[in-house]
């Protein structure tokens, strides 16, 4: 029977080689000469699940962090934008008539607009909202992959666990392992690709804005 997976594994960033080092070390106890094929295959299964669970928890942590950043960036931009608009809507503000302790309301309005624009730009440049969405998608995909892999593995165990060692279908077990590993890495690569595309799009948008607003000679 598979060993119990730790409920709170140490979370390692997906790009850290420590993930693979831990996986490699987990397989060092395997000895195929003792005919304990099921035990050895379960060791590989457990090691793969540990890698996938680490990635799942990593994305969940990142999702939570970026959810907070995204929320405050969007709310702050909205609030300061509304405050700036309300200040400008007060009669006399645009003409510099109204003031608070000697500071014209129009100054407060400009500051509010600047803060709103700054928070909006920060959200765009540092992908707070985009990253939150990316991490949600990656987390769901990883969770689905883990569930499917676990069900397929249990099905394989049911069909092979009580067979003599020579009759155990180890090839199909390794196919399950390879397919799962490829699926996990595909999810992570896709997330990285989306991040790269987002960065390129933001840079291009800034470049286009600059070109369209350059003073004409």
Question: Which distant-in-sequence residues (6+ apart) come within 8 Å of 125 by Cβ?
Answer: 202
Distance CA 156, CA 175 (A): 11
Q: Are 126 and 67 in contact (CB under 8 A)?
A: no
Residue 13 phi/psi, 5-degree rounding, is -55, 145
Q: State the DSSP code for 9.
A: P
Burial code (b: 16+ CB inside 10 Å, e: under 16) for 153-177 equals beebbeebeeeeeeebeeeebeebb
pLDDT in tens, the chain (217 residues): 444 444 455 566 666 778 888 888 888 888 887 678 888 899 999 999 988 888 888 888 877 776 676 666 667 677 777 777 777 777 766 666 666 666 666 777 777 777 766 666 655 555 555 666 777 888 888 999 999 999 999 999 999 988 888 888 999 999 999 999 999 888 888 877 655 555 555 556 555 555 665 555 5
| pTM metric for this prediction | 0.61
Distance CA 125, CA 206 (A): 10
Q: Tokens representing 12?
A: 């390692």
Distance CA 29, CA 46 (A): 13
């Amino acid at each position: 029977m598979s060993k119990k997976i730790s409920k709170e594994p140490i979370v390692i960033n997906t790009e850290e080689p420590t993930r693979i080092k831990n996986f490699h070390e987990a397989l060092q106890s395997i000895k195929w000469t003792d005919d304990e094929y099921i035990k050895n295959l379960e060791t590989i299964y457990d090691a793969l699940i540990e890698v996938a669970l680490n990635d799942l928890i990593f994305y969940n942590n990142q999702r939570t962090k970026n959810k907070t950043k995204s929320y405050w960036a969007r709310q702050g931009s909205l609030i300061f934008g509304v405050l700036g608009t309300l200040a400008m809507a007060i009669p006399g503000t645009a003409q510099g008539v109204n003031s608070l302790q000697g500071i014209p309301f129009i100054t407060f309005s400009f500051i509010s607009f600047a803060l709103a624009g700054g928070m909006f730009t920060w959200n765009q440049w540092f992908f707070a909202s985009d990253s939150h969405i990316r991490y949600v998608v990656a987390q769901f995909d990883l969770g689905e992959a883990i569930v499917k892999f676990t069900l397929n593995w249990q099905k394989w165990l049911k069909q092979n666990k009580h067979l003599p060692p020579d009759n155990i279908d180890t090839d199909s077990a390794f196919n399950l392992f390879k397919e799962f590993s490829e699926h996990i890495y595909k999810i992570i690569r896709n997330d990285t690709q989306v991040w790269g595309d987002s960065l390129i799009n933001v840079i291009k948008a800034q470049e286009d804005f600059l070109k369209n607003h350059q003073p004409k000679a």
